[in-house]
Structure 1
Amino acid sequence: MPNYDFRCQQCSQKFSRRVSIAEKDKVTCPKCEGKAEQIFTGFLYSKPGGESAGSSGCSSSNCRGCSGC
């Protein structure tokens, strides 16, 4: 099950929740029980062999995650 980041539409509380794709529109705020909206943040994935690459793209110090500079 994926982990999503949310922000409450009433109190602006930010939080993460592990929910199915079908249930993410039903998430409520743990602080005030208000309706929450999904916010999009970066992600991290691991390649076989333990190397990690993020969504931040290429940087001058590391071009492993892109097609080169």
Structure 2
Amino acid sequence: MKRTIMISDIHGCIDQLNQMLHLIQFNSIDDQLILLGDYVDRGPNIKAVVDKVIELVTEHHAIALRGNHDQ
């Protein structure tokens, strides 16, 4: 059975995002990842988060929604 994984409010925290994906053992073959927005604003590494979101969408078929901080 395929898991549906939802993550929101990353806010530029690339280390925490990578740790979370590692801890849950994200696998794009077995999982559907849905990113619920708020990738930017406040955090220490916004560019790395945006790059990771793009990678997850283009290479791992994640769905990325836009949050209010991403407007």
Settle same-fold status: TM greater than 0.5: no
Please tell me whether Structure 1 or Structure 2 has the larger radius of gyration of its CA atoms.
1
Q: Pick the structure with more helix per residue.
A: 2
TM-score (norm 1): 0.26
